[in-house]
Structure 1
Amino acid sequence: MYTNIITEVDIGVGIITLNRPERHNAFDDGLIAELSAAIDQMSKDPAVRVLVLSSTGKSFCAGADLNWMKRAAGYTHPENLRDAHALAEMLRRLAHCPKPTVARVQGPAFGGGVGLVACCDVAIGTIDAEFSLTEVKLGLIPAVISPHVIAAIGERYARRYMLTAERFSAAEAYRIGLLHELVTDTESLDEAVGEIVDALLNNAPGAMAECKALIAAVAWKPITPVVIEDTAQRITRLRASEEGREGMTAFLEKRKPNWIAQG
């Protein structure tokens, strides 16, 4: 079905794997289109409760593919705008996926690759991974990834790393909030991702989707009466929902709720 990515669904977990190792999983219009379609498909698939974004090869994602950049140099304004919209839409779908998303970062992430990591709810990487927002070195700016990167690392660190385009380590990515956890190697990476996935699968699917919507609604907002009323309405609705009733009943009856596999 796809030529640039591999997709699979296994026991509630959807995995999208960037599969252009010979190009360090760099973006081109084909990869962006396939990622966008796969994210949309898994977002709508009731069999998928958690989405993991992974890569093959030595790099997680090296940003824009050089051949694509060469082609884009001759594009018209409408053609360049089309490409920018396509990338922005793919990142939007990932950032606003109703399922929890986990980035499995096994190697360097540059440019748009940093954007992919920033879009995911949880990001775990190996200690030898490197990161860089390289756009200004090419006379460009990290435009469409900027809302997601700034949300992940904050304006202050964005000022440094977007302006200097310097490489920074996985340890620094962890320090500034781009990565949530560091591991020593890919075996440990798979174990750490598995632990996060298991934790997510214990939670109510609808409640996690609602929680993501809640975070988006209140983040960076002043605590006004409007925000307070919105949060009160949200919890009132969830308490009366089928999942809310099942969760509370299961807790009181000291049993597992019905969204956890019994056994």
Structure 2
Amino acid sequence: MLYQSPKGSIGTTIENRIATVEFAHPTSNCFPADLLRGFTEEINSLSENPQVLVIIIRSSGTGVFCAGASFDELLAVSNLEEATRFFSGFANVINAMRSCSKIIIGRIQGKAVGGGVGIISACDYVFATMDSSIKLSELSIGIGPFVIEPAVSRKIGKSAMAELTLASSDWKDSEWAKSKGLYTKVFAGQVTLDIELAQFSSKLASYNIEALLEIKKTLWEGTENWDTLLYDRAAISGKLVLSDFTKNALRQLKK
């Protein structure tokens, strides 16, 4: 186990050149700041690990894949520096996945909200179940999906991004997500998904490591400015989360 605390855990197993990274949090697999740091560090470490060719990202349990940012921590931030630092945690994760030298496969078993959709978007290939609906609810609480927007728009396009963002109370089902390019394949259940995932990842891990590295670079061409862009976006989110509108909205959601 790489990291474990009352605020969640991250564990990694490596077998046959495939690393499986699993994150967990008791509140619908959400991400507090320290879990974001641990996740970023693990992706960066695996990128440098010569024993790994493929990375699978998954969350614990059979329910929600990821509820995004921790509402408890969003309510706790009291100044712009703290708030920007928190949202920079998601910027760090996405940039780590983007610059990782290994192909990253997402294993999505359930619903994803906000930052969870951003993590899915930063995967190179995604297996999901029919239960894996998505929502970007940020506007409804007075902020916006600014940090994750480049990653999501890269996958689904600006028009679909606008549809997903502006209808912030609406869930989009897995077929919608697949039709827009967020999901690569959708399965009726987790058993079938895991069988297909095992076969696909094993085949991928048998390929030429240099070829995989070069295709990874090709897939992410044109995103080099994210090293600056995502942190500029974190500052926007950091400013907005301090507003009375957002604080009140978060308190209502926690009731």
4+ residue stretches of structure 1 with deviation over 4 A?
Answer: none
Larger Rg: 1
Which amino acid is the alignment partner of residue 84 of structure 1?
Answer: F
- Counterpart of 2:228 in structure 1 is none
Q: Does residue 37 of the first structure (1) align with residue 41 of the second (2)?
A: yes
- Counterpart of 1:237 in structure 2 is none
- Counterpart of 2:251 in structure 1 is none
Structure 1 residues 159 and 191: alpha-carbon distance in aligned structure 2, compared to 1, 3 A threshold: same
Deviation at 1:95, TM superposition (A): 2.1
Deviation at 1:136, TM superposition (A): 0.4
Q: 1:67 aligns with which of 64, 67, 72?
A: 72
TM-score by length of 1: 0.79
Query: Aligned partners of 1:156 and 1:199: how far apart in 2?
Result: 34
Instruction: Please list, as runs of the form range in 1=range in 2, the aligned pairs for 1:229-248 lying within 5 A after superposition.
Output: none
Q: Give a deviation string over 1:15-34, Cα, whole Å, max 9, x none.
A: 110122x2111011011011
Residues 21 and 55 in structure 2, CA contact (< 8 A), matched pair in contact too? yes
- Counterpart of 1:115 in structure 2 is 118
Aligned length: 216
Residues 74 and 83 in structure 2, CA contact (< 8 A), matched pair in contact too? no
Deviation at 1:214, TM superposition (A): 2.2
SS of 2:134's equivalent? Answer: strand
Q: Give a deviation string over 1:204-257, Cα, whole Å, max 9, x none.
A: 1111111121233369xxxxxxxxxxxxxxxxxxxxxxxxxxxxxxxxxxxxxx
* Relative contact order, higher structure (CA 8 A, sep 6+): 2
The answer for unaligned runs of 5 or more in structure 1 is 220-263
Q: Give a deviation string over 1:32-76, Cα, whole Å, max 9, x none.
A: 01100110111111111100000112111011122112212x2x1
Query: Aligned partners of 1:81 and 1:67: how far apart in 2?
Result: 16
Which amino acid is the alignment partner of residue 116 of structure 1?
Answer: I
Which amino acid is the alignment partner of residue 85 of structure 1?
Answer: S
The answer for unaligned runs of 5 or more in structure 2 is 224-255
- Counterpart of 2:163 in structure 1 is 160
- Counterpart of 2:150 in structure 1 is 147
- Counterpart of 1:136 in structure 2 is 139
Query: Aligned partners of 1:52 and 1:215: how far apart in 2?
Result: 17
Could you tell me the percent identity over the aligned residues? Answer: 26
